[in-house]
Amino acid sequence: MNRRPAAVVAWLLCIALTAGCWDRTEISDRVFDLAASADLKENGTYMIAGQFINPSRMEESPKGGSGGSKSYFIETGTGQSALESIQKMRQKLSRVITRGHRRNYYIGESLAKNGIKDMLDAFSRDPGNRIRLDMWVVKGGTGLQALEVPYPLEKIPAVAPFKIHKAVGGTTGTTYLDYLMASSAEGESPTLPVVDIVKGSSPQKTIRFYGRAIFNRDYRLVGYLNFVEGAYRQWILHKISYLDLVEEVPGAGGSVGVVISRFGSKVKSSVTPDHKVKMRIELSGAGQIVENHTNLDFRELKNLTLAQNAVNRQTSEHVSAMIGKVQKQYGTDVFGFVQTLNRQHPSEWKRLKGQWEHIFPGIEVTVNVNVNLKYFGLVGPPLQFRESEIK
């Protein structure tokens, strides 16, 4: 029996059923959103804004051609909720919004202080929002103001914070996911990176990576860590790849500048017989001396050891001060101490569960930093000192 005609007919039917996308939206009918913002206005309404690519201007300069058009444009919408605000914005656009390429989302300080719980609920339910997204708090400003700041090195300003974050040693594309994980963990509090708007070398304003925003369990902003304090926290959590420090060397007449490029972190918990929780943090790393404002010749091993010990001792003090600041001023566990206790002492954690917000501010924390300074550049002694002044 010849089955070939039947097979050909079945093959043709399969092609007819699978060819084409019946619900496809053409590229020319889409508008690509690379950044967005959310703000709370004085009257209590939301304002949502988006920074969209202007395809016809992408090959021109950021300031555009003869007509001065930019390679992007900003559109806004206001409403009683985030969804209503987005709907009002859509009414002004001739194309369907596509958010698959969005990298940054700015949250104004006023909204962050009021709480972002409702906004995140709508945000997380929308499958169009990427999970690998960086969310930022705008210190002292609004999200819209951050969107409106141009950036000279990028055609689309939305790309700038992403690249700045990466350039200073941070992990990019993770802050939204990290926030969701921390906010859902028992006893842990979430954080977000922070930008502020400052003057550059000219009157033109620019975006600066400021540090870290601290939220409480009610999703409300309670305070900030500056850039270096935020870097210390990232070191504890294994989320940093680059850090530069300047520390004084006692008795050497000045300071040394150090760049650390390798990092390690160990956190150990213990519980005393009277049920007091303690944490011991061991931070390690490797780096090099890139500035020498002392009178030490680092070709001498004892001098290099002297500088290394000074850097380790003072950095330990700075990390301890940062942790103490979070404990006393904010009272929120943003270091994962609760997870450490749960892993290392599960029986004690069961007993303390539900009391962590009251326990965390009183935890005794010991910090020990051990950075190995292997290199000191092409010269040993500082060139600005006379030979007789060098030790």
pLDDT at residue 378 greater than cutoff 70: no
CATH numbers and ranges of domains, the chain? 28-227 (no CATH), 242-391 (3.30.300.210)
Q: What is the pLDDT of residue 266?
A: 97
Question: Is residue 203 predicted with pLDDT exceeding 60?
Answer: yes
For the segment 84-89, the average pLDDT, to the nearest whole number, is: 89
Q: What is the mean pLDDT of residues 99-112?
A: 89
What is the distance between the alpha carbons of residues 129 and 133, in angstroms, rounded to a whole number?
Answer: 8
Other CB atoms within 10 A of residue 68 CB:
8
| Rounded-to-integer distance, Cα 67 and Cα 28, Å | 23
Q: Residue 160: its pLDDT value, please?
A: 84
Q: Where does the chain show beta strands of DSSP type E?
A: 30-40, 46-53, 72-79, 96-98, 104-108, 134-138, 191-199, 205-215, 221-226, 243-249, 254-271, 277-292, 364-375
pLDDT digits (tens, 9 = 90+) for 342-354: 999 999 888 888 8
Indicate the pLDDT class of residue 15, thresholds 50, 70 and 90: low
Q: What is the pLDDT of residues 137-168, one digit of tens each?
A: 999 999 999 999 888 887 778 788 878 887 77
Nearest C-alpha neighbor of 227 from the set 246, 247, 209, 211: 211
- pLDDT grade, residue 391 (50/70/90)? low
Contact status, residue 365 vs residue 279, Cβ threshold 8 Å? yes
- Identify the H or E element spanning 85: helix 82-90
Which 3 state secondary structure label does DSSP give 213? strand
- Band of residue 364 on the pLDDT scale cut at 50, 70, 90: very high
Q: Which pLDDT value is given to residue 24?
A: 58
What's the average model confidence in pLDDT over 288-311? 89
Within 340-387, strands assigned E span 364-375
Query: Which tokens hold the place of 55?
Result: 């395809």
The per-residue pLDDT for 127 is 74
Per DSSP, the three-state class of 56 is helix
What's the pLDDT score for residue 38?
94
Higher pLDDT, 95 or 321: 321
Predicted TM-score of the model (pTM): 0.84
Give yes or no for residue 60 having a pLDDT over 60.
no
Burial annotation 127-163 (CB, 10 A radius, 16+ → b, else e): eebbeebbbbbbbebbbbbbbebebeeebbbbbbbbe
Widest CA span in the chain: 106
pLDDT reading at 109 higher than 90: yes
Beta carbons of 377 and 258 less than 8 angstroms apart: no
Q: Count other C-beta atoms under 10 Å from residue 273's C-beta.
A: 5
